[in-house]
Structures are given as C-alpha cells and as structure tokens.
Amino acid sequence: MIVRAKAPLRISFAGGGTDVAPYPEERGGCVLSCTIDRYSYCTLVLRDRSTINVKSLDYDIFTSYGLDEELNYDGTLDLVKAALKVVHVRRGMDIFIHSDVLPGAGLGASSAMTVALVGALAHWKRLHLSNYDIAELAYRIEREEAAIKGGRQDQYAATFGGFNFIQFLGGETVVSPLRIKRDTLNELQYRLMLCYTGKRRLSAGIIEDQIKGYLQKREEVICALDKTKKLAIDIKDALLMGKIDEVGLLLHQGWLAKKNFSSKITNPHIDELYEIATKNGALGGKLLGAGGGGYFLFLCQFDKWHKVAQELERCGGKVTNFAFDFYGLQTWEVSR
C-alpha cells in the first residue's frame, strides 16, 4: 500500500505573532492568510518488516528506526519522529518527505510538512479526523512534542486551504473561510508579488524575542501585536469589499508594526529591498513568517509590477510566480 499527502504553504497578510502563546490566551489573536500552489509532500510505503526508513529528498538525509526503538530529538528529522510517536506507528514502512520550498522561507513549510505527515498517517490508519482534529494534532506534534517554537496559524492554514480568517480565542481556534469575489481574487493575484530576499531565516530566536518582550510588558511589543491584530480585521474587510489598493496600504502599516516585535525582524538588506519596492510602485508589503529573511509579499500598482520586479532582482531579490490554492490538505492512495 502506498499513501501520499500534500499540504499547501501559506502567505499571511496580517495577524502573525498574535497566534503565539501567551498572547492569544490573554488577549485573543487573529490571522488573515491564504494558501498557495507550493506544497510539502509525504509518501508512505507499507513494508512487512520491523523498521521504519525515512528519507528527506530535500536534504538527501536517510535514517532508519526500529519499531521498538526510543526516538530521541536531536535536530535530525524531529518532526517525523514526533509524528510517529504521537500517532503511535508500529508498522514497518518507508517514509519520503520533501517540500517545494525549504524551511526558513517564511511560508510555513515545516508546519505544512507536519500536516502532510499527519494526513498520510491518518489516511493509512483510517482515522476519521476533521480538519480541526488534523490541525490540532499537527500543532501538538510540532510545538509540544518536538518543542519547536512558533504559533498555530500555519497548521490550520495548511489543513483547511484557501483564504481564511483564523481566530485564536483563549484555548479555542475558529477558522472562517472567506467568500471573496472572483474579480477581487483575480485582481489580487495579478498585483501581488512574492520576492525571495536571498536569505533563509531561523524563526526561533525572533519568536523568543517577541515572547520575552510581551512577558516583560514592553509597550512597543504589545501595541505592535494589538495593531497587527486589528490590521488582520481591516484587510479582511478590504478584501471582502474588493478594495485592493487599501490592502496594499494596510500591508505597509503591518510591516511598520511588525518591525517592533523584535530587533531581529529586519536588517539593512531587507530594509533596502522594501525601500526599492515601494519607491518603484509597490503600495506596501511585508516580510512573511517570523522575519529575518525568507520571502517578501508586495502589492504593486498594476502598471509598475514589472518595474518593481526588475529593480528587486537587480538588488539580489528573486521574484517567484505563484497561484492561490483552495484545497488544503489532500491525501490519496497509489497502486504499486
């Protein structure tokens, strides 16, 4: 038996950071995001033997575990180990994982990989899990079992797919799919731009800075989190009303707020790319993910898109084409 799964990566318009404890438990958080046609993949090949073989096709890493072996988290394929432990896998198999984008790009690839793992394992075990169940299980695997720091928006985005307004209300998460007009979606797609900064980033230190600032009740951090939460609502309303230019201007406000989360959010190269983009026709944008590198998201004037792309690439950025994904997690079986 062969089972495959794929889960989409995401772009977040606003609200990122308000999904990281303890902020949502104390003040309530919300995020506006959508998924794109970049994916993390998992393949399970069932075997009649007493080992589980895991191959990361991205990093060309191979390892093997005995079914009764104690799995230690040492930084190598920890997400897979955590998933095997939490889902209680006691069957020999080969597991292959890979992603269209490596972790550190700010597109939620690690969480999408966890969702794909959960989806494939649940499909194999015939577990009847809702999207909420899958997202929460992925969150538990990544954040609690593997102890990788971060929020909970990415697991829900990858599982549900499409455009979602996600609220974090104490210990409860509520996903509200947005019914955006087709004309608005086409215009948004036409004018958005993804640009790789040329540098991956490690989010843990940035998130720790944000949490530390919040726990210390630093006013600039709390105000920035409150601001980005409000912007998630404002951008949602702008999209539902088809106000594309307003989305760009709100993205700019969000970028200014995000930079107050931590001093590690930006650097001179990132600031230069942002200034070049806005000077040449971008209405606004933001760095995706925790910050420090990865991908920028810009919303451009339609007749300046190519000029913005040209200038960004001249300064070391790499513009990437993409399309929206509306399906979320998908699993299927393959005949041998």
What are φ and ψ of residue 295, in 5° steps?
Answer: -105, 140
Are the C-beta atoms of residues 273 and 280 closer than 8 Å to each other? no
Examine the residue annotation and report whether 74 is marked as an active-site residue of this protein: no
Are the C-beta atoms of residues 290 and 200 closer than 8 Å to each other? no
Distant-in-sequence, close-in-space partners of 313: CB < 8 Å, separation ≥ 6 = 319
Coil, helix or strand at residue 51: strand
- Return the structure tokens found at 272: 């230069």
Helix (H) or strand (E) holding 97: strand 93-99
Cβ-count burial 194-211 (b if 16+ within 10 Å, e if not): bbbbeebbebeebbebbb
Helix (H) or strand (E) holding 46: strand 29-46
d(CA 283, CA 279): 9
CA distances from 134 to 7, 52, 103, 117, 325 (A): 12, 22, 21, 10, 18
Are the C-beta atoms of residues 137 and 129 closer than 8 Å to each other? yes
Bridge partners of 172, per DSSP, are 169
Tokens 């954040």, residue?
143
Tokens 């792309």, residue?
309
d(CA 121, CA 44): 8
Q: Which of 19, 78, 100, 154 is catalytic?
A: 154
Helix (H) or strand (E) holding 166: strand 163-169
- Catalytic annotation, residues: 154
